[in-house]
Amino acid sequence: MHLALERIAELTRGTQWEGRLWLVGGAVRDEMLGLPPSPDYDIVLEGDALAVAEHLFRSGGTDGHPTTYARFGTVAVGVQGATIEFATARRESYDPESRKPHVEPATLLDDALRRDFTANTLMRNLHSGELLDPLRVGMVDLRAGILRTPLDPAQTFHDDPLRMLRAVRFRWRLGWEYAPGLATAIQNEAPRLGIISRERVRDEWTKMLLHPSASNAMRDLLALGLLKRFAPEFESMLGVTQGKWHHLDVWDHTLLVLDNVIQDGGHLELRLAALFHDVAKPATRTIDDKGDIRFFTHEIVGAEMTRTRLRDLRFGEATVEAVARLVKNHMRLTSGPSFTPSAARRLLRDLGDQVDDLIALVDADARGLKAGTRTLDLTVVRERIEATKIATPVSMLESPLSGAEIMAITGWSPGPEVGRIKAALREMVLEGQLAPDDLEQARKLVAEWTEPTY
């Protein structure tokens, strides 16, 4: 038992709450499955949840003052570094256009009936350790690996559509199967996902993507009609053939690249980049006179589509730009068999700390092509990148002279000509024709380029 739970049991022993506090939900389920414990715990009781939290606070057992959610009869508090949410056992009713319920105090059985899945209704008494199965099917379904809703699944998903995403996440995280009728209920209720905030959808999707089973979850989201409710671009990939370089359509290729990134331990931004790297191929697909399939500018169009979708899902701007940058640049290492020092400098200038991520994405993408179609040895790329980093730090891959210094030499006022001179100097640095710290040569060049002619 987590130290936080032991502390709560200790401080409530001998009080009116002894024997009435029940750990419920994922913590009990994961304990029964032998999974690692969560840092967050839910405790339910037939009584006033706020009163328990206030008692713990007055007793010095909490990390701070409780945070109360009066509408739902819940209160959150930190204990021993863990987040504990106390809830008054309740029954719920819903308005058609909201997932926020009207609640009223009720019994432990009523509380179990309003939960998402039967395996999440199991309760463990905090003082005695007794395991309670209020619906008498929770343990059966847990042992059988079945995701079943306490009530009719259509009602459960209609009341709170977020549970449909949770169903997909739990299925693939736990390796379980849907109970009969559950998948059909999701397909029927999928349009209800539109009432869920984008932040909530983002959080559930992110949890799926961070699990090794992410590609299976994506297939499930597509098949159940959920994916098109928050990222319809992906459905357009299905059945889009790609020509001689590929043996898979855009959709299956994308999921293979995602699997490759996951296999390599890729973080969230890389996984999102894997998903979005070919997102614009359906929109840019053409067939030339020879019958060859082309996707001109799909990386550029795809970067903008990526920004639009990730912003819509309320991802942070740093994440949006990092993923879009990878999508925009994922073709840069596939255009030819060589990788020059100049190309290395340009890549470092444009990608900075994301260079390694781009190489990882390109590698994962290449492993999703037909055998024998890789055109560039990425080992050589990595070696040249490292050598370039040592020889020319990224911070020096710019014009040796600032705009102010150029104006001092030329006597010009601010304007586009100054910018063009600065860009020309930067280009010479990138091409290896001018050392980034050679100020004397840079000044000489500026003087020569701007010397009046008569």
Three-class HEC string of 139-165: HHHHHHCEECCCCCHHHHHHHCCHHHH
Among 150-164, 197-211, 231-245, name the one with the lowest average pLDDT: 231-245
CB 46 within 8 A of CB 52: no
Asked whether the beta carbons of 90 and 69 are under 8 A apart, the reply is: no
Domains and CATH numbers, the chain: 3-144 (3.30.460.10), 231-396 (1.10.3210), 403-449 (no CATH)
The residue ranking higher by pLDDT, 71 or 307, is: 307
**Mean pLDDT for the stretch of residues 240-247:** 80
Is residue 95 predicted with pLDDT exceeding 80?
no
Judged against a pLDDT cut of 70, whether residue 60 lies above it is answered with yes
Residue 204 has pLDDT above 90, yes or no: yes
Cβ contact 323:310 at 8 Å: yes
Report the residue count for the chain. Answer: 454
Q: Between 329 and 243, where is the model more confident?
A: 329
Which pair of tokens denotes residue 43? Answer: 């405790």
Q: Dump the DSSP string for 85-131.
A: EEEE-EEEEE-TT-SPEEEEE--HHHHHHTSS-GGG--EEETTT--E
**Range 127-136 average pLDDT:** 97
Highest mean pLDDT range out of 94-103, 159-168, 243-252? 159-168
Position 335 scores a pLDDT of: 58
pLDDT in tens, 227-238: 999 999 999 999
Residue 97 is predicted with a pLDDT of 67
103: which strand partners? 92
Query: What is the pLDDT at residue 384?
Result: 87
User: Is pLDDT at 315 greater than 90 in this prediction?
Assistant: yes
pLDDT of the residue at 101: 66
Cα first-last separation, the chain:
89
Name the burial class of residue 403, with classes exposed (0-12), middle (13-18) and buried (19+) by CB atoms within 10 angstroms of its CB.
Answer: middle
State mean pLDDT over 362-371. Answer: 82
Per DSSP, the residues of 430-442 read HTTSS-TT-HHHH
Average pLDDT over residues 335-363: 85
